[in-house]
Structure 1
Amino acid sequence: MAKLLYSATMSVDGFIAGPGGDMSWMTEYLGPNPAVDELIPRIGALLVGARTFGGDDPYRDTPQEGEAFGGGWSGPQFVLTHHAPEVPVPDVTFVGDLETGVNAAKAAAGERYVNVLGADIARQCLAAGVLDEIFISVAPVLLGDGVRLFDQPGGRTVKLERLSLPAAPEATNVWLRVVG
């Protein structure tokens, strides 16, 4: 059965997007990353938050704009939203609640990962007890403000177990398992 993996690139001070959801900061840190290259074929489906789906794209104004992992991945995407667009989007299914989205994405992913994209969706998955792993590429930059990797003031402590800590020239990758 598929596992849910939250993956993101994060600044050293804990932000995955700048103020207003700005992703342009990430562009210079999207270079070669062997750990990400190895992960991509292991992803069977995406579970994406509405803000992430409709938000800023670090590949803006390039041929990779609008493509998952800059065009390195294609497949079924499930977007959690209360306001699905009237015009269908190829390979995208819009779902209205987390449980439906998780179940549909897992069914589509088969034995591969469901990759969770979006801080709020990751937080919801963690709170629901369905998030299995976290893969973070830490970029060598301090953003100072923006969207945090996990933001839940007053939240509970969540124990994690390190699975690996590979380094790439542009980032340090941290792969963790959620244990409680």
Structure 2
Amino acid sequence: MGKVISAMSISVDGYVGAADPEQWWPVHERLHGWVFGLAAWRSRQNMEGGAHTVSSDLVAEEFAGTGAYVLGRNMFDYGQEPWGEKPPFQAPVFVPTHRPREPLTRIGTTFTFVTEGIEAALKLAREAAGDKNVFVSGGASIVQQCIRAGLLDELHLHQTPVLLGAGIRLWDDIGTDWKDLQPTRVTAADGVTHLYYGFDNTQK
């Protein structure tokens, strides 16, 4: 069985998005700009070209190792239209939500909406992924839920060299218990540092 992994682009002071709607796009571009020109990312967006760099290799590795995704409902609602008929996931996607709806099938991907909570969504995703990993793709709230409940095996932080000072902070609402992490990989790249951690879940 694979691992449950999440990855987030994050500022040095721990922010993963903007709380102010007017700042959403500038913050999004600053945090995620490192990925937009990569060959591996562009290929999954049905785009040609892109740079073949160490960051592209790491993104390709994440895509190749993933057999299913868990995705927050807000992220689905925002992405459904721009993703179009061939979303970038190319694997089953499970969406925890309080708003039930029928599964949505697109080229290479079926979105299944799970009303029984994050653990139920992860259970279905593990079954669908087989020997591959389950990737918790965000947004911040669903990753926080997983950290709080001790459901992640690995957390990949793509840290961009900026101090935002305000916004949606990943480290809020993750519970008060200690969570021991094991650094497994640090890779410095152009405009981003990739920090990979494993969780010590032996006491779960």
- Give your verdict on TM over 0.5: yes
Candidates 70, 73, 93, aligned match of 1:47: 70
User: In 1, distance between residues paired with 2:83 and 2:168?
Assistant: 20
TM-score if structure 2 supplies the norm length? 0.73
Shift of 1:93: 0.3
Candidates 55, 61, 83, aligned match of 1:66: 83
TM-superposition CA deviations, 1:134-175 (whole Å, max 9, x none):
011101222222222231276222110011111221210011
Shift in alpha-carbon separation, 1:84–1:36, aligned structure 2, 3 A: same
Q: Does 1:101 align with 2:121?
A: yes
Shift in alpha-carbon separation, 1:12–1:83, aligned structure 2, 3 A: same
Shift in alpha-carbon separation, 1:7–1:154, aligned structure 2, 3 A: closer
Residue type matched to 1:126 in 2? I
Q: Choose 1 or 2 for highest CA Rg.
A: 2
Pairwise CA RMSD: 2.5
Residues 9, 32 of structure 2: 8 Å contact kept:
no
Aligned to 2:143: 122
Q: Which has the higher helix share?
A: 2
Matched residue count: 171
Structure of greater relative contact order (alpha carbons < 8 Å, 6+ residues apart): 1
Aligned to 1:160: 181
Report sequence identity in percent: 31
Runs of at least 5 residues in structure 2 that lack an aligned partner in the other structure: 39-54
Shift of 1:41: 0.6
TM-score if structure 1 supplies the norm length? 0.82
User: In 2, distance between residues paired with 1:25 and 1:56?
Assistant: 19
Matches of residues 1-180 of structure 1 in structure 2 within 5 Å? 1-20=1-20, 22=24, 23-30=28-35, 31-32=37-38, 33=55, 34-55=57-78, 65-66=82-83, 71=88, 73-85=89-101, 88-90=104-106, 91-96=110-115, 97-118=117-138, 119-152=140-173, 155-180=176-201
TM-superposition CA deviations, 1:50-76 (whole Å, max 9, x none):
12222479xx9xxxx427xx83x4111
User: In 2, distance between residues paired with 1:29 and 1:161?
Assistant: 25
